[in-house]
Amino acid sequence: MKGVFLKLAVVACVGLLVTACGGSVESDAQRLANLQCKVQKLLAKAQAKAQSGDMSVMAEATKITAEATALKSELESKYTSDEDKAKLAEAFLKALENCK
């Protein structure tokens, strides 16, 4: 019984890793939308803090810029055809609707 449970656990973990690493259009679009949401929140925060001369959001902006650069490179190499880019754009717009 213990061996069966272990095999099921291994199969479940491998399935999860393949799904996560494979990266569907929807999951890539969600990552992109999450980054866009971070930018929108940061802009709102920056506007409020800039009026008082507080530039503390610069460190966060630098971090987001690095994330965006890495994600851009990854997605450009992954989505090369116009059809794939269109699918990603459509999924991105759908995922962006959930931005809070």
Give domain status of residue 2, yes or no: no
pLDDT for res 23: 64
Give domain status of residue 68, yes or no: yes
Instruction: Please say whether the beta carbons of 67 and 4 come within 8 A.
Output: no
Number of domains in the chain: 1
Give domain status of residue 37, yes or no: yes
Give domain status of residue 33, yes or no: yes
Q: pTM to 2 decimals? A: 0.67
Q: Identify the helix (H) or strand (E) that includes residue 4.
A: helix 2-22
pLDDT for res 46: 81
pLDDT for res 13: 33
CA distance 28 to 91: 9
Query: For residue 88, what are the domain limits?
Result: 25-96
Give domain status of residue 4, yes or no: no
Give domain status of residue 43, yes or no: yes
Q: What is the pLDDT of residues 17-69, one digit of tens each?
A: 333 344 699 999 999 999 999 988 888 888 887 777 777 788 888 898 899 99
